[in-house]
């Protein structure tokens, strides 16, 4: 059934408390609702963990989210989130779960289903952004007979080549490359013999692109680089980011600072009360990695699905995650929290704030934060989205909490 968003903020659908750690309760309106009519595979429209579905353009936030028929485009206006139906009409039938790359008022995205990958492009018809055009660029050839793809991500490198990375066939990592986003290489195998539950993500650095993936079977996190301008299938050797002590799990989200620092928010599979549940992996410009475990698992609370987002201030990088509350067996008290990454502090995160706390009477489990690939804008709100299994989508503006004097 077609996705249904409310044109305006929905008073009374959900109650959120913003800024709980600041000692105040500020009520805010729920963002919008999506009705999938039993399409359980789409019931958390802000998933997947590595993917980015938001961008800031023409002084507005935009979101690319799935419904049961394909991708849908939404604009955050003064009256609420509004759909651009011309996109859903043009792209009907291709996978709606997509990762987006924004550049110069143009969106290039990869849509992923269990057995297919589609690269498509969206551009506004004029400077007003009132009407958008869309075009399917390529259906990527999947090298396995039974692909079983969980997720995929897309980037453009510094010399203009395009890259898609995905887990394929329940045990292998592939990339596809293109010089124009229209003509793509075959799938290039860069990692294999991992568990069926593992995933990957790709990021664009100044001199290369880098793919990071988990390997729970061998308790390792790996990465592999492709230097800009080299042949598409010429990849450097596999590097070990960290190994041992159950350091790997299928939770990966990446961001790159303006100075070329790569931030990888991940989860381990230790799952031991009293031990850190998440790991922030930081790669400097010279290519050296540091791994920082953080946020202990307790009997009551479990942090999960971390994301990392940069800001206009190079010293201010934000981490967000879902707080699973196990005191309620149905997890109706789950919430979304953010903090500032500070590697000099013992806990890695400072100024932690619960930014989305749905009313427990709704009987929902909130999860899957999504944000922009690029840094938050200097001249606009810092918007993130999360969603629940009933199709409610929640918004938080992080700027009032973290873009403040003394926070960096």
pLDDT in tens, 62-109: 999 998 889 999 999 999 999 999 999 999 999 999 999 999 999 999
Under the banding of pLDDT at 50, 70 and 90, the label for residue 39 is: low
Specify the CATH number for the domain of residue 187: 2.120.10.10
- Tell me the pLDDT tens digit for each residue of 262-271: 999 999 999 9
Q: Give the mean pLDDT of 285-308.
A: 97
How confident is the model at residue 408, as a pLDDT?
59
pLDDT reported for residue 42: 64
Question: Residue 198 domain-assigned?
Answer: yes
Residue 12 pLDDT:
30
Query: Which pLDDT tens digit goes with each residue over 309-323?
Result: 999 999 999 999 999
Average pLDDT score over the chain:
89
Give the pLDDT of residue 34: 60
**Domain for residue 142, yes or no?**
yes
Instruction: Write the pLDDT tens digit of every residue in 215-271.
Output: 999 999 999 999 999 999 999 999 999 999 999 999 999 999 999 999 999 999 999
The reported pLDDT for the residue numbered 364 is: 84
| Domain presence at residue 332 | yes
Residue 138 belongs to some domain of the structure: yes
- The dihedral through the CA atoms of 157, 161, 166, 169 has a sign that is negative
**Residue 391, pLDDT score:** 74
Tell me the C-alpha distance between 341 and 319, whole Å: 6
Structural domains in the chain (count): 1
Asked if omega into 202 is within 30° of 0 (cis), the reply is: no
The pLDDT, as a whole number, for residue 388 is: 86
CA distance 394 to 383: 10
Q: Which token pair is 391?
A: 């199709």
* Residue 312: predicted pLDDT: 95
Residues 258 and 270 sit within 8 Å (Cβ to Cβ): no
Residue 215, domain member (yes or no)? yes
CA angle 325, 326, 328 (to 5 degrees): 90
Domain of 166?
Answer: 47-353
Query: Does any domain span residue 358?
Result: no
Distances (CA, A) of 102 to 123, 223, 257, 402: 10, 24, 16, 24
For residue 387, is it within any domain?
no
């Amino acid at each position: 059934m077609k996705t249904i968003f409310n044109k305006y903020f929905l008073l009374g659908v959900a109650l959120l408390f913003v800024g709980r750690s600041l000692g105040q309760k500020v009520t805010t309106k729920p963002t919008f609702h999506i009705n999938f009519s039993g399409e359980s595979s789409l019931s958390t429209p802000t998933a997947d963990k590595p993917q980015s579905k938001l961008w800031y353009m023409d002084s507005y936030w935009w979101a690319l989210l799935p419904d049961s028929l394909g991708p849908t485009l939404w604009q955050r206006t003064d009256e609420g989130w509004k759909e651009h139906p011309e996109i859903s009409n043009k792209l009907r039938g291709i996978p709606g779960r997509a990762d987006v790359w924004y550049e110069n008022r143009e969106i290039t995205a990869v849509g992923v289903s269990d057995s297919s990958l589609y690269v498509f492009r969206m551009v506004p018809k004029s400077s007003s952004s009132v009407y958008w055009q869309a075009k399917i660029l390529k259906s990527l050839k999947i090298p396995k007979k039974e692909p079983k793809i969980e997720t995929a991500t897309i980037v453009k490198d510094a010399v203009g080549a395009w890259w898609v990375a995905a887990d394929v066939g329940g045990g292998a990592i592939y990339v596809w490359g293109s010089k124009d986003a229209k003509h793509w290489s075959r799938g290039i195998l860069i990692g294999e013999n991992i568990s069926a539950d593992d995933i990957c993500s790709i990021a664009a650095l100044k001199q290369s692109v880098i793919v990071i993936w988990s390997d729970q079977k061998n308790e390792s996190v790996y990465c592999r680089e492709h230097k800009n301008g080299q042949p598409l299938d010429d990849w450097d050797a596999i590097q070990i980011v960290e190994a041992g002590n159950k350091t790997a799990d299928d939770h990966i989200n990446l961001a790159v600072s303006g100075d070329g620092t790569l931030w990888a928010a991940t989860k381990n599979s230790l799952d031991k009360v009293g031990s850190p549940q998440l790991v922030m992996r930081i790669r400097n410009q010279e290519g050296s990695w540091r791994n920082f475990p953080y946020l202990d698992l307790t009997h009551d609370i479990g942090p999960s699905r971390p994301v990392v987002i940069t800001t206009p201030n190079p010293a201010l990088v934000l981490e967000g995650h879902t707080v699973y509350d196990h005191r309620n067996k149905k997890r109706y008290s789950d919430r979304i929290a953010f903090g500032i990454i500070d590697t000099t502090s013992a806990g890695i995160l400072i100024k932690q704030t619960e930014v989305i706390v749905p009313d427990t009477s709704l009987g929902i489990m909130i999860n899957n934060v999504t944000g922009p690939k690029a840094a938050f804008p200097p001249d606009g709100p810092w918007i993130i989205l999360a969603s629940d299994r009933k199709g409610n989508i929640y918004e938080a503006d992080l700027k009032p909490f973290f873009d403040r004097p003394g926070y960096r």
